[in-house]
Structure 1
Amino acid sequence: MKKFAALLAAGTAMAVATPALAQDNSTFTGFRVEALGGYDVSKAGSDVDNDLNDEDDQSIDGFMYGVGVGYDFAFGGVLVGLEGEISDSTAKTEFNDGDLEDLGLGVRVDTGRDLYAGARVGFLAGDNALVYVKGGYTNGRYNLLAADGTNEIETNLDLDGFRVGAGAEYALSENMFIKAEYRYSNYSEGEFDFQNNGFFDDDTGESGRFDADLDRHQVAVGVGLRF
């Protein structure tokens, strides 16, 4: 929540310091669709650490890519928008237990799809520029494969949490724009979905929910069209 409050404070400060509130913000209203790409890193949160094996990666990173949609409304000099996004990432790693690697023991973790639904609040920073803060709900998926030398267990880990961020958007024309933003996500609740004949599952095929603490940082750029 401290990160969210800081982002909101920064956005408010930019709005107060910018005399562009009186400008016409119709350039940034209406329905939009965008393609996104950037850097993605996931790591254990402050409540979690792996001190068992120094050879294990403490974080996984890769290239994030996805698409987003949104609709923005103007309220005087303030822009308020609803938005959604689906993305994926190339981030992956393998955790191996030292010398036991030769016996086939280990775990592979790949990032899966990431869903986001939220809102943003923006302020004009010039005739064709917008600065904004954002926040909402996110559901991330990580694909896990564990092996003990004989058997393999494959499962998905679905995580629920929140996302906050801040960015800037620039209108290249009446219908086309580019943007750049930083996003922070924290996943605080998770659930395994095993794909191995109900192993560790309940009758529905899903395990019980549990507390988690996983941080995700992303720097994304995008290009889009407004209709």
Structure 2
Amino acid sequence: MTNTFKFARTAMLAAPLALAAGMASAGGLAAPVETVAPTPMPAPAPVVMRGTDWSGFYLGGQLGYGEVTGSGTDEDVNGAIYGVHAGYMYDLGAIVLGAEVDYDMSNIDNVGGNGDLDDILRVKGRVGYDAGQFLPYVTGGVVRANVSGAGPLGDTDLEADGDFYGLGVAYKFSDSILVGGEVLQHKFYEGDVEGSDNTLRATTATARVSFQF
């Protein structure tokens, strides 16, 4: 009886040890837990801002207002101007270079006392900054104006040559349509007005629409 009790007690103690050893050998509770490092996410690529390509030929029309002063002209000599223009722009990246010819007709009267400003022809150079859809620019060049009906008897036609400078801006409404405006300051000092005590001057402001191709 005593031997039987000792055997039973030994079996009861040995059974849990055998069970624990079996679980360890099978990769149970004693198996180490592996930690997987998180996969790093790639950094987003930087956004590169690109300007609009302004290169190409263009032509269009303009409508605006002009005021003339000097050479015997009354203080209030102004009126509408309207015309056409054509040119070419070359986009260098941030800088846009251009050349243009424009022609305006006018209904400005009483220039030089009794003359009519018939038309203005300009040859321009332009330097602009590519600001995406907008192109602000400076412009300048040479100009010729024709005045009819001047002189004491109103029977003299005059030619006035000079130069001009100004500011403008263009907006790329679509790939082929440009809208914008210009303000120009003119000074005439050659031709029939050369040597006058008060040089003929003109200021113009126009809205412009162009088709680029």
1:38-95: CA deviation from partner (whole Å, max 9, x where unpaired): 0100101xxx6x5xxxxx7224100010000010011231000010011111110288
Equivalent residue runs for 1:77-96 within 5 Å:
77-93=94-110
- TM-score, scaled to structure 2: 0.70
| Secondary structure class of the residue paired with 1:178 | strand
Q: What corresponds to 1:210 in structure 2?
A: 194
Give the counterpart letter for 1:210 in structure 2.
E
CA RMSD of aligned residues (A): 2.0
1:34 aligns with 2:45: no
Q: State the 1:108 CA deviation.
A: 2.2
Aligned counterparts of 1:154 and 1:130: Cα–Cα separation in 2: 44
Unaligned ranges ≥5, structure 1: 1-21, 51-55, 96-106, 192-208
Over alpha carbons, which structure has the higher Rg?
Answer: 2
Of the two structures, which has the highest relative contact order with CA contacts closer than 8 Å and spacing of 6 or more? 1
Question: Structure 1's 146 and 76: CA in aligned 2 closer, same or farther, altered over 3 A?
Answer: closer
1:144 aligns with 2:149: yes
Q: State the 1:130 CA deviation.
A: 0.7
Give aligned pairs, total: 163
Question: Structure 1's 220 and 136: CA in aligned 2 closer, same or farther, altered over 3 A?
Answer: same
| Secondary structure class of the residue paired with 1:217 | strand
Tell me if the contact between 1:190 and 1:211 (Cα under 8 Å) persists in the aligned partners: no
Tell me if the contact between 1:159 and 1:188 (Cα under 8 Å) persists in the aligned partners: yes
Question: Structure 1's 160 and 145: CA in aligned 2 closer, same or farther, altered over 3 A?
Answer: closer
Aligned counterparts of 2:154 and 2:68: Cα–Cα separation in 1: 22
| Secondary structure class of the residue paired with 1:90 | strand
Tell me if the contact between 2:136 and 2:170 (Cα under 8 Å) persists in the aligned partners: yes
Which of 14, 24, 31 pairs up with 2:51?
A: 24
Give the counterpart letter for 2:124 in structure 1.
G
- TM-score, scaled to structure 1: 0.66
Aligned counterparts of 2:55 and 2:203: Cα–Cα separation in 1: 28
Bigger strand fraction: 1
Give the counterpart letter for 1:25 in structure 2.
T
